[in-house]
Amino acid sequence: MNKGIMSKGILIFAIVSFAVLLILPTVDSKEFRITFAPDANDQQRRDIDTRFSTGFVIEKKGDLVVIKGFGINDAVMNEVRAMPGVRDALIMPHWAERGLLAKKVNLGLDLQGGMSLVLKADYETMEKKLEKTLSDSERTEITQQALELLRNRVDKFGVAEPSIRPRGNDAIELQLPGVKDPNAVKKAIGTTGRVEYRLVDDEGTRRAGEWLKQNAQKMNIKNKDIAEDNRAQAELLADITKGTKLSDKLELVFYFERDAKSKKIFPSYPMALEKHVALAGDDMSKAWVGNDEYGGLTVHFTTTPDGAAKFAAVTSEKNKGRRLAIVIDDKVRSAPSIRETIPTGSAQITGDFTLEEVNTLARIIKEGALPVNLTIIEERSVGPSLGQDAIDAGFKATMLAFVVVSLFMFVYYKASGVIAVLGIALNFLLTFAMLSWLGFTLTLPGIAGLILTIGMTVDGNVLIYERMKEELRGGKSVRAAVVNGFDRAFWAIFDSNVTTLIAAFVLAQFGTGPVRGFAVSLSIGLLASMFVVLYITRYIFEVISTREFIKKLSI
């Protein structure tokens, strides 16, 4: 074997080996770590064992459970995170992700399950408030601001590969793969990041506390422990409101305190607040983390000019001695008493916060509120089982295409057909490796693009094989037939693939969503196909044709 062929062989072996390593984060087993809350009961812990009862290896170390196996994806992680008693769940990065910068191929909404929302901006109300008509450019700019804010909010919830894009100049489309609980996400998008200052009604708070104390046994509340479930808390607050005949101007919200042992915050007691919001997040202009005179963590902020006037009014002499509740995401986290009027629009938020919480609070204040109200006008959920059905259907379609094409090549081109089928398999491997390296999100149209590359790969082989047949019929040797066959077919294969690539490039540039996914997978598949057909397949034939005992080519 000459040095040229040996060098090519080493290069091909290295590329194929590297490709195998790159797809490991996608196809290899995953390590999934689940951390239980300190107060998780035995039944909640057994629920995890039931969820991963077959096909997984489970190791337990105190409150930590390590699960290893296949089929662990973001949808599974989100499902486990929502299970009672679970404090956190995390899929550990594969060693190839750390060592080779490889990424797993993410599954799109149609394959993994999740939710899709279309939010429409309420510009009519905004224009009435501003008493002017917004131009198209102004609407586009405001929509972009809302889009960026939504992206920041979604990112905080760990949604893998969210797709957030404008639809026209007055709507935003969100696709959130892997979301298990759509209601929780909708609430999170709509409420997270809201900071309000509201006056406390001490008489209403006292009555609510007494009612809860008298009815604790009836409400199945033991040792003052209020349920952590948001729905149960809302139902309890509704019962207290009804039982105390609270004024329509007041609203009950739980005051949250931090548990000394677990360090988690829990609802402590109901607090009656005026429904009127004295100061909101969009009244604040700057925020930063600092310390108070006792060294405690605080968030310092300054208000807008309008916010300064509101702050001066709420801290005026008439409210002196009253408490001003700081409500973050419908939770009262602090309620200091008003001692003096603050006319400067500069103050600080104190409370029992951790460093992470004050950083989050400062970020929320800096982000501000949505520039325009958004209303959900379209909602679509894809269940994980339906997504799995789509994966199964796509896999079956791919395998069926592969088998049918392979049979044709075996029957029509005999041993050379085997090389063509090997080329198809390598094309899949290289394409998938490139998609993994790029962190591609695979959707059903993307699978269609991959299946189409099977045809393109076979088409290239057919062109070459027919040229080789012509050479053999003309009396050329096997070596000459191989060389001439590849040389004569090169430009035909190159031209057809390049023209398809141009079309795919246009689709990728101007298409959106599934169309772009199809174009990208097709483009990468075509590039891999050209490399396999014109380089690897040729290498195999060159090796065969240099064997002296090969007198006839099976084609």
Q: Mean pLDDT, 10 residues at a time, over the chain (555 residues)?
A: 80 92 87 86 86 86 89 75 79 82 76 80 79 82 77 62 78 78 64 75 91 81 69 83 88 84 78 88 76 77 84 87 84 82 80 71 64 78 68 80 87 88 90 84 82 84 90 85 89 89 85 77 90 91 78 76
Q: Decide: helix, strand or coil at residue 337.
A: strand
Q: Which residues contact 332 (CB under 8 A, 6 or more apart)?
A: 253, 254, 255, 256, 271, 273, 325, 326
pLDDT at position 271 is: 93
Cα separations (Å) of 515 from 33, 46, 91, 137, 295?
Answer: 36, 44, 30, 27, 55
pLDDT at position 426 is: 92
Q: How far apart are CA 552 and CA 547, in angstroms?
A: 11
Residue 235: its H or E element: helix 230-244
Q: Which residues contact 298 (CB under 8 A, 6 or more apart)?
A: 289, 290, 291, 292, 348, 349, 350, 353, 358
pLDDT at position 15 is: 93
Lookup: tokens for 105? 């191929």
Q: How far apart are CA 144 and CA 136, in angstroms?
A: 12
Q: Which residues contact 191 (CB under 8 A, 6 or more apart)?
A: 329, 330
pTM over 0.75: no
Q: How far apart are CA 92 and CA 66, in angstroms?
A: 10
Q: Decide: helix, strand or coil at residue 3.
A: helix
For every residue of 410-464, DSSP letters joined together read: HHHHHHHHHHHHHHHHHHHHHHHHHHHHTT-EE-HHHHHHHHHHHHHHHHHHHHH
pLDDT at position 535 is: 92
pLDDT at position 66 is: 92
Query: Taking every pair of C-alpha atoms in the chain, what is the biggest distance, in angstroms?
Result: 108
pLDDT at position 293 is: 72
| Main-chain dihedrals φ then ψ at residue 553, nearest 5 degrees | -95, 130
Which residue has tokens 């199945």?
A: 220
pLDDT at position 548 is: 67
pLDDT at position 40 is: 81
Q: How far apart are CA 301 and CA 329, in angstroms?
A: 18
Lookup: tokens for 46? 């057994």
pLDDT at position 193 is: 58
pLDDT at position 205 is: 92
Closest CA relative to residue 436, chosen from 76, 100, 15: 100
